[in-house]
Structure 1
Amino acid sequence: MARKRRPETDTEMLDYVAAPGEPVEAEPVGRRARRAAEKAAKAERKAAQAPLASSKRQGRFGIRSMGIAYEAFQSLRGRSMRTWMTAIGIALGIAATVATVGLSSTSAAAIAERFDATEATQVTVSFSNNMRDAGFAPTLESSERVRGINGVVDAGVFCASGEERAASRTESQDYVRDVPVFGMEPGAMDAFGFEFTQGAAFDAGHVARDDRVAVVDESAARDLGFSSLDGGPMIYLDGLEYALVGIYRAPEGEAKLTGAVVIPPTPCMDADATYGAAEVFIRTDLGAADKVADTAPTAVFPESPENLSVSKPSDLRSFRKGVENEMQALLLGLAAVSLVIGAVSVSNTALVSVMERRSEIGLRRAVGAARRAVAMQFVWESTLIGLIGGLFGTVLGVNVTALVSLYRDWQIVFEPGLFAAGPIIGAVVGVVAGVYPAWRASRIPPAVTLRA
């Protein structure tokens, strides 16, 4: 009796089940493997040739963008915990970027406001070392001419000792502290904004008589043991005796005057080699600094004004802007690193998802889904993760900026486009992170379903 072949189609399978007692012809293993491979190849060619716009053949796996986006959204909802954990990486990077830009803008506005109230009114005219070596130095008449310029509030000559000097309250120097020493006119002390807690500044009479008088910063006074000026105390600088007439508090923003001793400007006028080159410090009315800076060199040294250098607010503003740009570039670099880490996290999660869903992807390919449709779904999933991270990162960055500004008592300054930039950047990072996993998903053949 002839042996019956093993059923291959559904109809043959039903006939075989109806007559279970009949023997079945065994098919060689090699032939079965070839036939399975031929079926898989045929299904793959069929999927590749399927029309992209055919909703009937694509079913709910059609490549219409909105449909694919909706399916991607539903897929993420089914793995909500993984989605949120992945989006955190993007959120932190976006938050760092938004907070960096926001705090940079806010702090720049606060600094600019303070700058306009202080540094924008300061002008310094400097004698070069070559001029000092040649015997040229400012005179009392120089600063007097400068004070006559329209817009000048106060002005005066000053210079700083090249090295710190040994200061003591007794001639025997039983206790010595090294302090910086400045030679300074009374007008310069007014221009710097000295505030005296005890006594007062020396005056023009002391300067004209070349009296040995001095004023000392309150921190140096404490260290040297000057608790008060009662009894006319003396201070000794490198063994030279000076009458202490005042104790001051260093002006805000002038760290070089903290812990210092100030004496009349005799070393500046004499071009003393142990002191630095003399300078004329000028305090102007707000808005008059540029005009004063153009006129001051001629008033200070009419014979050769071109040999003097002038420092004015515009120069300081450029320097401040450069420092701000450098700091912002550094912080944005750190934020970019955070974004890269977030992108790698998204890509890794998407790749793991592809490996876990190989059977699902193979089934879609087997029923006619094109490679492009499969790839687009994974790109949409990573894009949505990036968009979610961008939205929450923007909110987090704005709140960080607001809290820091509130703590520092700054007025919050935000560029309007920053609110939209966060989600857009997050979505772009998501797209980039999803390209490779999407490509891997599109290469999964329909045969995966048959093997499963």
Structure 2
Amino acid sequence: MTRRRSIAPVRLAPGDILRLGLIGIRTHKLRAALSALGISIGIATLVLVIGIPASSQRALMEELSALGPNLLRAEPVRDRDPPVLLEPGAVGAVRRIGPVTDVSAVANTHVRIRRSDRVPESDGAGLSVLAARTDLLPTVHARVASGRFLDRGTARFPTVVLGHRAAQRLGVSEIRADRPVQVAVGDTWFTVIGILAPVPLATDLDSTALVGWDAARDRLGFDGRPTAIYVKADENRLEAVRNVLAPTLYPQAPGLVNVSRPSDALAAKRATESTFSALFLGLGAVALLVGGIGVANTMVISVLERRREIGLRQALGASRGQIRAQFLTESVVLSGLGGVAGGVIGTTATLGYALWRGWPPVIPLDATGAGFGSALLVGMAAGVYPSIRAARLPPTEALATP
């Protein structure tokens, strides 16, 4: 008695399934290109709607950062008897606060500055002489308009840097190496080595003369106690720093230290960031949805057009799983090609538009990668129904399709 052998379907390797999935793309190149174009437009739109606003946001954030939203100023309450005096080590104590990134200080030397020793000592032109630390400029976002600022070398010698208005009142317009300018600070001649540009974040410095911390101690009788401390901290923890700043500077009576409140620019930055984040998510989701619908529509049409091919493959022994894998692979490949093209198009367009507007270009690599991954997921989701529909077609019905 002859035993019948059951014929098991041939198991296809992943490479074979990929080649089968590429059949529809190779034989219908125009339709495949249009299908990939749909998803590429979606991904390019995703990159654009994230990249262009992100570049605009970066430009806006830089403008708001220039306003010093993370800068605090602390000083003792004035007109107290006895006066409130900060410790000489106050700057070091503030620097130990975790979220603090920069800290510097100035101190009133209580001496007058004159253009010449022939000017009466009572005429100080309304200018203050402050001892300044060498790290003051980056802390308060200041810059030098002419000459240079105090450094470790010059801060020990009788040198002075004039604020913008102080230089105007003293008649000093520029610093020239061949024509040094000297001014009388107390009873000592100091050489002017720099003039500051206007300081928007610390306008009180515009009407001051800044001398080195060591020079003030050695020549002006300065006791080393700061009278104003400038602090920059992490924006997300600025309020926490503000709360501990006064107790750190004057623990015996924190209420006797005034600390400025955070700038309104900080609230503007936070509002801008949250608004842009919601916009990015919304526009990106819409773009992906549009691309996914396009791929799904293309795959359904592909199944309808290729019924006879499906029936022939089933008649030759292809299993339903192999049919599903073929059309699902085709859908994923189309979406992947569209994702790559969309990423390139979106990145190029974002870069060009940002440079044209003069913004710092922000190429959202995470969004581009997420867009490509999303394209593959969308392709899988869009190909599930068409692949199942193709696998369920009876061979006789599929072959009878005209």
TM-score tier after normalising by the smaller chain length: 0.5 to 0.7
User: In structure 2, which of residues 9, 18, 21 is the aligned counterpart of residue 52 of structure 1?
Assistant: 9
User: Residues 24-39 of structure 1 correspond to what in structure 2 (within 5 A)?
Assistant: none
Q: 1:358 & 1:398 partners in 2: Cα distance? A: 39
SS at match of 1:119: coil
Q: Structure 2 vs 1, CA of residues 96 and 324 (structure 1 numbering), >3 Å: closer, same or farther?
A: farther
Q: CA deviation at 1:284?
A: 4.3
Gaps of at least 5 residues in structure 2 are 1-5, 92-103, 108-127, 129-139, 143-164, 166-198, 202-227
Measure, in 2, the Cα distance between the counterparts of 1:391 and 1:419.
9
The Cα shift of 1:120 comes to: 3.4
**Which residue in the other structure is 1:403 paired with?**
352
1:286-335 CA distances to partner (integer Å, 9 max, x unpaired)? Answer: 56996777557999xx99949x996326x965762453133222222112
Aligned length: 267
Between the aligned partners of 2:245 and 2:376, the Cα distance in structure 1 is 56
Distance 1:112 1:324 in 2: 9
- Residue 69 of structure 2: SS of its match in structure 1? helix
Q: Shift of the alpha carbon at 1:66? A: 1.5
Matches within 5 A, 1:121-136: 122-123=71-72
Question: What RMSD, in angstroms, separates the aligned Cα atoms of the two structures?
Answer: 4.8
- Say if 1:145 and 1:434 are closer, same or farther in 2 by CA, change over 3 A: farther
Give the letter aligned to residue 9 of structure 2: L
Indicate if the aligned counterparts of 2:50 and 2:284 stay in contact, CA closer than 8 A.
Answer: no
Q: Residue 119 of structure 1 is aligned with which of 62, 68, 73? A: 68
Tell me the SS of whatever aligns to 1:311.
coil
Contact in 2 for aligned 1:95/1:397 (Cα 8 Å): yes
Q: Is the 1:50–1:368 contact (alpha carbons within 8 Å) kept by the matching residues of 2? A: no
Structure 2 partner of 1:373? 322
| Cα distance in 2, alignment partners of residues 90 and 145 from structure 1 | 68
For residues 410 and 397 of structure 1, what CA distance do their matches in structure 2 show?
A: 17
Alignment of 1:436-447 (within 5 A): 436-447=385-396
Query: For 1:435 and 1:441, how far apart are their aligned partners in 2?
Result: 10
Matching residue's letter, 2:261: S
Q: Which residue of 1 aligns with 2:193?
A: none
Structure 1 gaps, min length 5: 1-48, 55-62, 126-138, 155-186, 194-200, 202-250, 254-281
Against the structure 1 CA distance between its residues 95 and 361, is the aligned structure 2 distance closer, same or farther, given a 3 Å change threshold?
same
Query: 1:296 & 1:415 partners in 2: Cα distance?
Result: 41
Deviation of the 1:349 alpha carbon: 1.4
1:13-59 per-position Cα deviation (integer Å, ceiling 9, x unaligned): xxxxxxxxxxxxxxxxxxxxxxxxxxxxxxxxxxxx752335xxxxx
Question: Could you say which structure has the higher helix fraction?
Answer: 1
Q: Which structure exhibits the higher relative contact order, with contacts defined as CA atoms closer than 8 Å and separated by 6 or more residues?
A: 2
CA displacement at 1:374 relative to structure 2:
0.9
| CA distance in 2: counterparts of 1:298 and 1:73, whole angstroms | 69
Q: Which of 15, 22, 25 in structure 2 is aligned with 1:73? A: 22
Query: Which aligned pairs between 1:50-199 and structure 2 lie closer than 5 A?
Result: 51-53=8-10, 63-103=12-52, 106-107=55-56, 109-120=58-69, 122-123=71-72, 151=104
Instruction: Tell me which residue corresponds to 2:332.
Output: 383
Check the 8 A contact 2:71/2:233 in 1, yes or no.
no
* Paired position in structure 2 for 1:312: 262
Residue 312 of structure 1 aligns to which amino acid in structure 2?
Answer: P
Query: Identity over the aligned pairs, expressed in percent?
Result: 30
Of 336, 342, 353 in structure 2, the residue corresponding to residue 393 of structure 1 is 342
Of residues 276, 293, 311 in structure 2, which corresponds to 1:327? 276
**SS of the counterpart of 2:360?**
coil
Q: 1:333 is paired with a residue of what secondary structure?
A: helix
